[in-house]
Amino acid sequence: MIRDITIGQYYPAKSILHRLDPRVKLVSTLLYLISLFLFRSISGYIVATLFLAGIIRASKVPFRHIVKGLKPIIMLLMITVFFNLFLTRDGEVLFHKWIFTITEGGLRTAVYMAIRLIYLIIGSSLMTFTTTPNELTDGIEKLLYPLNRIHVPVHEVAMMMSIALRFIPILLEETDKIMKAQIARGADLESGNMVQRVKSMIPILVPLFVSAFRRANDLAMAMEARCYRGGEGRTKMKPLCYRTRDRIAYMVVIVYVIGVFLIGKYVPLRVWIF
């Protein structure tokens, strides 16, 4: 029941995107997110859509799976669209009733904002779909390594991140198990008012906390037993190194960012108010 959350989870498949160096994916995702805010015209959106579609194709993650991951942000999306739609006063009035007014500018901003948000989420979830948590933290560690000079504990932060990420599925599974066990003992998790519902979470939260601490303790013990003592002098089993495909990927992304910026700016394409 609780395992259906797909956003931010790795999706195993064999694709070029899965094989790329995590650093490439991190940097590219960042560039892609920035690029979404570099244009304000329909031609820019067309290029961005084509690019995203190409990436989705290349990732071999089924489109349905990606859309399923969008579910949790629908609420946020609706709120954004709602405020942009009714609170922006710009240009001709398209619709007016009681306190609700929609203007040209409002509609435009709302639609653009919605598309941007969706592309933002899809773009960044594609990164997590195609990168295992371990690769991701490896990538972050290597990218942020220069910060070590100014005494930022990069390795420790990366290690904490990878442990945290690693524990998400474990704790989800644990929650599922405990919930089932308590339901089997007649626990009622769904009905009742707010206070009752919060109270009914106690039989789940207490065992969950206990198990989280137990697991943390076990992990610390296991790490110590293998002589873990921080990042200093520690080598990697699979050290990251750039290959030809990674350089090509960087190039593709840079060409895209420049392209989308130039096309968005200089190719005039107007459909109605957009």
Partner 1 sequence: MSIRLEHLNYIYSSGTSYEKHALKDINLTILHGEFVGIIGHTGSGKSTLIQHLNGLIRAGSGKLYYNDKNIYEDGYNMKELRNQVGLVFQYPEHQLFEVDVITDVCFGPKNQGLSPEECRERALEALKLVGLKEKYYEVSPFELSGGQKRRAAIAGVLAMRPKVLVLDEPTAGLDPKGRDDILEQIAYLHKQTDMTVILVSHSMEDIARFADRIIVMNHGEVMYNDEPKKVFAHYRELEKVGLAAPQVTYMMHDLRERGFAVDTEATTVEEAADEIMRVLETKR
Q: Dihedral sign, CA of 240, 244, 245, 247?
A: positive
User: Whose structure tokens read 């949790």?
Assistant: 72
| Least gap, CB of 207 to partner 1 (angstroms) | 5
Shortest spacing between CB 15 and partner 1, in angstroms: 12
Task: Give 58's DSSP letter.
Answer: H
User: Please, which residue, 12 or 233, has the CB nearer to partner 1?
Assistant: 12
How far is the C-alpha of 246 from the C-alpha of 20, rounded, in Å? 6
The CB-of-18 to partner 1 minimum distance in angstroms stands at 12
Of 112, 230, 222, the residue nearest 160 (C-alpha):
230
- Closer to partner 1 by Cβ: residue 180 or 247: 180
Q: Is 19 exposed, middle or buried (0-12, 13-18, 19+ CB in 10 A)?
A: exposed
Which lies closer to partner 1 via its Cβ, residue 53 or residue 206? 206
Considering the complex, state which of residue 38 and residue 183 has its C-beta at the smaller distance from partner 1. 183
Identity of the residue, 159 or 204, whose beta carbon is nearer to partner 1 in the bound complex? 204
Min dist. Cβ of residue 173 to partner 1 (A)? 12
Please, what is the minimum distance in Å from the beta carbon of residue 12 to partner 1? 6
Which residues of this protein are in contact with partner 1, per CB under 8 A? 3, 11-13, 62, 64-65, 174, 177-178, 180-188, 202-203, 206-207, 210-211
Let me know the angle formed at the C-alpha of 9 by 210 and 31, rounded to the nearest 5 degrees: 125
Task: Measure the N-to-C terminal CA separation of the chain; round to a whole number of Å.
Answer: 42
73-100 burial by CB neighbour count: b if 16+ within 10 A, else e? beeeeeebbeebbbebeeeeeeeeeeee
